[in-house]
């Protein structure tokens, strides 16, 4: 597709308009058609790629605000394409680790073709006997997040009780399955009857509840986990975290992966039951997946056989085309998606 003289082609893009406060809207993004040269700049060590799948992830809401957090990703740039995880094919490479035709997953632009300036942050896709879209989820950043948060941060022991909030999402559905395969008792919360049924029937959770139908979250947790919680995988924050703190066991562990209930609030909610951390000697630790990417080969070694043996299943919610991308991303914050939200932008 790349030509010697750098053919100029159409390049559809999803542009971030301006910083957002409160609940984001589709109109905070705009699908625009521009053009691009199918050629790397002279002397570039980057990659020119054609994007195939784009990943919609809750952390992207934090990048819609002005950020100044050392060691975290940057804010989106107003007037430029949204950036995030995706799956792409290499059209031209200036980097020794990649050649034309390779498939990869990593940080890319929400556009038809992108130049990746830091190829060392991307992973070459070696296993193509699974759906390529899995590299936006199960075999990509969310899969690594589930693996690192559960095994590295929580140090589980067989027979322990595990509770997961936002349990049917890209990360939660995997934490639950990893915990079950490890020999734990697993309970999840989600926001609809359909999602609760998925947790119990497809992902084989021991129990699950719809938090929207529970007037008292503390009572719901006591009903599902009468002995208390050894491990809480935190995706939600707010009232759920407060209720969980009342139900943690002695020496319990909380892996803080995200707090989706707080992302769109002008004023974040306070947490009232933190004294339980002291009284019950609970360890609560936040983590970012970037710190664990060195374990990716070890993760694949564990998870690829489990997929092939049918021990791990994965549910995706696929939107098609750039026009549907803004709605797909915004839908995460009202729980519209069922499973991992992905946008298919090119079919190969």
CA of 31: how far to CAs of 22, 231, 307, 327, 336, in Å? 22, 42, 36, 11, 21
Q: Strand 316-320 relative to strand 340-344: parallel, antiparallel, unpaired? A: parallel
Residue 84 shares a structural domain with residue 173:
no
Residue 227 shares a structural domain with residue 175:
yes
Please compute the mean of the pLDDT values over residues 33-42 and round it to a whole number.
87
Domain of 129?
8-137+315-344
Look at residue 262 in the predicted model and tell me its pLDDT.
Answer: 81
Residue 126 shares a structural domain with residue 186:
no
Residue 146 shares a structural domain with residue 225:
yes
For residue range 178-201, what is the model confidence (pLDDT) as tens digits?
Answer: 999 999 999 999 999 999 999 999
Residue 22 sits in a domain whose CATH number is 3.90.180.10
Q: Is residue 299 part of a domain?
A: no
Residue 264 shares a structural domain with residue 223:
yes
Residue 46 shares a structural domain with residue 16:
yes
Residue 167 shares a structural domain with residue 81:
no
Residue 169 sits in a domain whose CATH number is 3.40.50.720
Domain end point (choices 290, 306, 336)? 290
Cα 87 from Cα 124, distance rounded (Å): 10
Asked whether 239 and 217 are in contact (CB, 8 A), the reply is yes
For residue range 275-334, what is the model confidence (pLDDT) as tens digits?
Answer: 999 999 999 999 999 999 999 999 999 999 999 999 999 989 999 999 999 999 999 888
The total number of structural domains that make up the chain: 2
Cα 302 from Cα 283, distance rounded (Å): 26
Residue 285 shares a structural domain with residue 320:
no
Summary mean pLDDT of the chain: 93
For residue range 207-255, what is the model confidence (pLDDT) as tens digits?
Answer: 999 999 999 999 999 999 999 999 999 999 999 999 999 999 999 999 9
Of 126-135, 305-314, 333-342, least confident by mean pLDDT is 333-342
Look at residue 2 in the predicted model and tell me its pLDDT.
Answer: 41
Residue 126 shares a structural domain with residue 150:
no
For residue range 18-36, what is the model confidence (pLDDT) as tens digits?
Answer: 999 888 999 999 999 988 8
Look at residue 5 in the predicted model and tell me its pLDDT.
Answer: 60
Cβ contacts of residue 215 below 8 Å, gap of 6+?
A: none
């Amino acid at each position: 597709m790349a030509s010697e003289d750098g053919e100029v082609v159409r390049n559809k893009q999803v542009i971030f308009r301006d910083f957002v406060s409160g609940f984001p809207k589709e109109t905070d993004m705009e699908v625009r058609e521009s053009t691009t040269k199918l050629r790397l700049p002279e002397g570039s060590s980057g990659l020119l790629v054609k994007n195939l799948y784009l990943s919609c992830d809750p952390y992207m809401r934090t990048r819609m605000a002005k950020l100044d957090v050392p060691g975290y990703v940057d804010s989106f740039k107003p007037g430029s394409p949204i950036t995030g995880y995706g799956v792409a094919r290499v059209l031209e490479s200036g980097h020794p680790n990649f050649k034309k035709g390779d498939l990869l997953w990593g940080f890319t632009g929400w556009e038809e073709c992108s130049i990746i300036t830091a190829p060392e942050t991307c992973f070459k896709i070696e296993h193509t006997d699974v759906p390529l879209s899995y590299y936006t989820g199960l075999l990509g950043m969310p899969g690594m997040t589930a693996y690192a948060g559960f095994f590295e941060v929580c140090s589980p022991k067989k027979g322990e009780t595990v509770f997961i909030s936002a349990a049917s999402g890209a990360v939660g559905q995997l934490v639950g399955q990893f915990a079950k395969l490890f020999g734990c008792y697993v309970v999840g919360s989600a926001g609809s009857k359909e999602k609760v049924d998925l947790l119990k029937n497809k992902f084989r959770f021991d129990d699950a509840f719809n938090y929207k139908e529970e007037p008292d979250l503390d009572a719901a947790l006591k009903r599902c986990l009468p002995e208390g919680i050894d491990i809480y995988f935190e995706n939600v924050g707010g009232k759920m975290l407060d209720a969980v703190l009342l139900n943690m066991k002695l020496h319990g562990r909380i892996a803080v992966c995200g707090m989706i209930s707080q992302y769109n609030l002008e004023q974040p909610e306070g947490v009232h039951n933190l004294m339980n951390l002291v009284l019950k000697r609970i360890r609560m630790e936040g983590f970012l997946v970037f710190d664990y990417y060195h374990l990716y080969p070890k993760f694949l070694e564990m998870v690829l056989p489990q997929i092939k043996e049918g021990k791990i299943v994965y549910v995706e919610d696929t939107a098609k085309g750039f026009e549907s991308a803004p709605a797909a991303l915004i839908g995460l914050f009202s729980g519209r998606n069922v499973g991992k939200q992905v946008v298919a932008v090119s079919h190969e």
